[in-house]
Amino acid sequence: MSHEFLQVLWFILIVVLWVGFYFLEGFDFGVGMLLPFLGKKDQERRAIINAIGPTWDGNEVWLITAGGAMFAAFPQWYATLFSGFYLALFLLLVALIIRGISFEYRSKDASPKWRATFDWMIAVGSFLAALLLGVAFANLAEGVPINAKMMYTGNLFTLLNPYGLIGGLTTVSVFLLHGANFLSLKLEDELRERANAFAKKLYIAAVVLNLILLITTYIFTDIYAHLGLNPGIVPIVGLLALLVSGYFINRKQEGWAFILVAVNIVFTLITFFMIMFPRVMISSTDPSYSLTIYNASSSAYTLSVMSIVALIFVPIVLIYQGWTYYMFRKRITTKKESLVY
Amino acid sequence: MDPLILSRWQFAMTSIYHFLFVPLTLGLGWFVAFMQTRYYQTKDETFHKMAKFWGKLFLINFAMGVVTGIVQEFQFGMNWSEYSRFVGDIFGAPLAIEALLAFFLESIFLGVWIFGEGKVPEKVHLAAIWLAAIGSNLSALWILLANGWMQHPVGYVIDPTTGRPMLNDFLALITNPKGWLFFGHTIAVGLAMASFVILGVSAYHLARKSNVDFFKRSFQIAAIVGLVAALLVIIDGDEQGKYVYETQPMKMASIEALWNTEQPASFSILTIGDLSGKKEVWSLRVPGVTSLLACNNLTCAVQGVNDIQAQYQQQYGPGDYIPLMVFTYWGFRFMITVGFLMVILAVIFLFALRGDLTKVKWMKWVPWVIVLPYIATTSGWIVTEIGRQPWIVQGLLKVQDAVSPNLTTVDLLISLIGYVVVYGTLAVADFYLMKKYAILGPDAAMTESVDAAPSVIGGQD
């Protein structure tokens, strides 16, 4: 296999890992943000957490694997991105830490104050993580200042530009909607109704922000030069899926609503990667300073070894992770005796 | 303040903190899996309670290891971008494989174990805890192979155009003896730490005569495993010492405060250094023992710090190649003293099993043994990591050349203070919960919703 083929293959594999992370952890983040608003009583909150309880940690591993894969396959990308977005990633880490620990600790003490604190840490952590991921990807598509030595020359505020913030808010709104759909699939009775009512409101916000993102993407990124006025089937299907999901949300066909919003998330993220390809870090300083899959990658030997490992183990992981969703497919009730703490 | 110094402090702090939780996860997972297996086989309710009770402590601790682990993976790129660029062709691979092979296994099946009791078949529930334990120990293997490569680089050639090491032998990378010695050491350390935590908590209850049968049996299992594990730690550690002698002579010499090459080499009982931590003032030594540690005989030559320094200056150019000996020397002595103390204690505990544990007078002091493995593991890592300074990759890249060049002092002060605040708060919450559940005992761990509080906002259903 040629080096070039392997570089493209690993770009695709990293897209797959990020897509898996967005699809799975997207609803986890949404559920986390909705927790204090949707759950009025303690048992309701416990039921909401239990809807993602058995699986959220496994979902987060997609992020860790994506990070590891970027390090292994495109070390220059990993080095420039992670050192460049230093404070944004630090905040992301804090968000993931306080959120992760709260899932495990919130029910381990009876004090209402204790629980309310951890519930809000879940919500704030989920919000911050979704926002920062959105900001990061918008900036990756838009381009950031990078010098000839592959070094990022901006700071945190460089990332918090209008387009970055639109990317962040859009991600937050879509993850919220994804989470509301997921909860209306996983919960029963009143909570299910409440989740559905939230989904209806969030749908409007997500559509508005998606349209703003679409327009601003043509202003701030080089999508027009790169993909053309008609950007192709992927972004169009992504947007249409979101628009159509409203129909199913209104009819309370939760399965379809969930799938369509998932399609929107996945296809929008793929669009960002399509704008970038074959660049992985677009330099706004000088296009020739951009990092590409060709100048940022590992050797052909390392990529070959990693390809073999990935082709064996990614399918295995998909099978057993899919199986756990099947195992825990039942709806969660708020009846005290059936709640796992 | 220099960003390099701050990055080093941050890496040291977050790594040491992370590893406070890791060994207990590694070791306690096996215990819980064993106890649940015994329950599955015998249907003895005590084993069921044991799996639940020790499982509760396992989970509280596990969560800390997981959330602090993400920081570890990210900060190679965040703080050490030049390192990441330099070693990316090699070091990223075991890291990615760790996530793919180990983290998924561990996280997904632990989820099944926590939420699956009564919902999935009993056999599946039992398999889940085994797979989670295997997953976490497997993750230790991959990260230690990665660390092993930094200590003893293998399987690479230097790219003549970039000057960077390029992987050319994956098999050498994954069979690196350094990594496997670390792995054996760490797995045994995990079991030893879990044993001493179980011994300490059990002793607390035995001294108060609460749940006597439950804690007697826990004490018994932990005393046996604790002795075997502590011995394995020492045996593996001795092997490591011999490998350090061959591959990292400066680390060996600095551990022993051996200034000049000696044949046979003496072992320092006590060396007093000056305030720089790099100069000897006074020393008491036993002849030949360092030779014994290094190469299994009383006669071989062991190179001294001064000689290696001169040799490295010739080989790598001018610079200070001597690690901060005050840490390597004392860290090593803390580690081995505590290690041997643990063996002796485990033997005493085994003898105590012949009598009635609730009548043992010193039982009320035994909970303090819990701190021992924490002292030993922390000092062990300090020896290993400070002992290879100034290298981040032995012989190939220095720490000072590895730091991210774009980071400012302000960036680092924000993150460093941020980590101290977040980690400090979490440590309080973790300690509070560990102590609370350890003292509450097995009955509290059995009733799932025992802690269901009155509602956060309104009344309860």
Q: Which of B57, B67, B73, B422 to mutate to test the interface with A (most CBs of A within 10 A)?
A: B67
Q: Using a CB–CB cutoff of 8 Å, tell me whether B103 touches chain A.
A: yes
Q: Residue A213: which residues within 8 A CB-CB, separation 6 or more?
A: A166, A167, A170, A268
In this prediction, residue B456 carries a pLDDT of 40
**Residue pointed to by tokens 């303690």:** A42
**Spatial distance between the Cα atoms of A210 and B211, rounded to a whole number of angstroms:** 60
Q: A46-82 burial by CB neighbour count: b if 16+ within 10 A, else e?
A: bbbbbbbbbbbbbbbbbbbbbbbbbbbbbbbbbbbbb
DSSP codes, B197-235? HHHHHHHHHHHTTSSHHHHHHHHHHHHHHHHHHHHHHHH
**Closest residue on chain A to B167 (Cα):** A302
Q: Using a CB–CB cutoff of 8 Å, tell me whether A72 touches chain B.
A: yes
Which contacts qualify for B424-428: CB closer than 8 Å, 24 or more apart?
B426/A97, B426/A101, B426/B64, B426/B67, B427/B17
- Dihedral of alpha carbons B71, B74, B77, B78, sign: negative
* CB interface of A with B, residues 252-291, below 8 Å: none
- Measured in angstroms, the CA of B418 and the nearest CA of chain A are apart by 8
Average pLDDT of span B100-110: 95
pLDDT band at B448 (very low <50, low <70, confident <90, very high): low
**Spatial distance between the Cα atoms of A10 and A73, rounded to a whole number of angstroms:** 7
**Domain residue spans of chain B:** 3-242+328-450, 249-322
Q: Which of B97, B111, B451 sits opposite A324 (nearest CB)?
A: B111
Residue A331 carries which DSSP code?
P
**Domain residue spans of chain A:** 3-338
Q: Which of A70, A89, A105 sits opposite B429 (nearest CB)?
A: A105
CB contact under 8 A, B67 and A334: no
Q: Which of B71, B97, B456 sits opposite A112 (nearest CB)?
A: B456
In this prediction, residue B457 carries a pLDDT of 41
Average pLDDT of span A285-291: 94
Q: Using a CB–CB cutoff of 8 Å, tell me whether A4 touches chain B.
A: no
In this prediction, residue B91 carries a pLDDT of 95
Q: Using a CB–CB cutoff of 8 Å, tell me whether A295 touches chain B.
A: no
**Spatial distance between the Cα atoms of B182 and B172, rounded to a whole number of angstroms:** 16
Which contacts qualify for A195-201: CB closer than 8 Å, 24 or more apart?
A195/A34, A195/A38, A196/A249, A196/A252, A196/A254, A198/A34, A198/A37, A198/A38, A199/A249, A199/A257, A200/A249, A200/A250
In this prediction, residue B458 carries a pLDDT of 39
Q: Show residues of chain B in contact with A317, CB under 8 Å.
A: 100, 104
Q: Show residues of chain A in contact with B166, CB under 8 Å.
A: 299, 301-302
* B25-80 confidence digits (pLDDT tens): 999 999 999 999 999 999 999 999 999 999 999 999 999 999 999 999 999 999 99
Q: Which of B73, B82, B458 sits opposite A40 (nearest CB)?
A: B458
CB contact under 8 A, A341 and B448: yes
Q: Show residues of chain A in contact with B104, CB under 8 Å.
A: 58, 61, 65, 317, 320-321
The region, left, alpha or beta by phi > 0 then psi within -120 to 50, assigned to residue B273 is beta
**Which range is least confidently modeled, A182-196, A235-249, B404-418, B433-447?**
B433-447
Q: Give the other-Cβ count within 10 Å of A29's Cβ.
A: 32
**Which range is least confidently modeled, A299-313, B45-59, B69-83, B348-362?**
B348-362
Average pLDDT of span B102-121: 92
> What angle do helix axes A162-186 and A254-276 make, rounded to 10 degrees?
150
> Helix or strand or coil: residue A287?
helix
**Which range is least confidently modeled, A205-214, B295-304, B312-321?**
B295-304
Q: Residue A185: which residues within 8 A CB-CB, separation 6 or more?
A: A254, A255, A258, A331
**Residue pointed to by tokens 């012989």:** B395
In this prediction, residue A337 carries a pLDDT of 63
Fold topology of A3-338: Formate dehydrogenase/DMSO reductase fold (1.20.1630)
Percent share of chain B, pLDDT over 70? 96
Q: Show residues of chain A in contact with B128, CB under 8 Å.
A: none
**Spatial distance between the Cα atoms of A14 and A17, rounded to a whole number of angstroms:** 5
Nearest to B251 by CA among B387, B384, B148: B387
Q: Show residues of chain A in contact with B447, CB under 8 Å.
A: none
Q: Show residues of chain B in contact with A119, CB under 8 Å.
A: 456
Q: Which of A45, A101, A317 sits opposite B67 (nearest CB)?
A: A101
For residue A146, the cross-strand partners are: A152
Q: Show residues of chain B in contact with A76, CB under 8 Å.
A: 85, 88
- Measured in angstroms, the CA of B70 and the nearest CA of chain A are apart by 7
**Closest residue on chain A to B87 (Cα):** A75
* CB interface of B with A, residues 255-314, below 8 Å: none
* A16-40 confidence digits (pLDDT tens): 999 999 999 999 999 999 999 999 9
**Which range is least confidently modeled, A203-207, A337-341, B263-267?**
A337-341
Q: Show residues of chain A in contact with B100, CB under 8 Å.
A: 65, 68, 309-310, 313-314, 317
In this prediction, residue A67 carries a pLDDT of 95
Which range of A42-56, A165-179, B257-271 scores highest in mean pLDDT? It is: A165-179
| ipTM score of complex | 0.93
Q: Is the predicted pLDDT of residue B2 greater than 70, yes or no?
A: yes
Average pLDDT of span B124-148: 96
* B193-242 confidence digits (pLDDT tens): 999 999 999 999 999 999 999 999 999 999 999 999 999 999 999 889 88
**Averaged pLDDT score across all residues of chain B:** 91
Length of chain A: 341
Q: Is the predicted pLDDT of residue A143 greater than 90, yes or no?
A: yes
What does the block give as tokens for B289?
A: 């023992």
* CB interface of A with B, residues 306-335, below 8 Å: 306, 309-310, 313-314, 317, 320-321, 324, 327-328, 330, 334
Percent share of chain A, pLDDT over 90? 87
* A33-67 confidence digits (pLDDT tens): 999 999 999 989 999 999 998 999 999 999 999 99
* A324-341 confidence digits (pLDDT tens): 999 888 888 877 666 776
Average pLDDT of span A123-139: 97
Q: Which of A38, A59, A97 to mutate to test the interface with B (most CBs of B within 10 A)?
A: A97
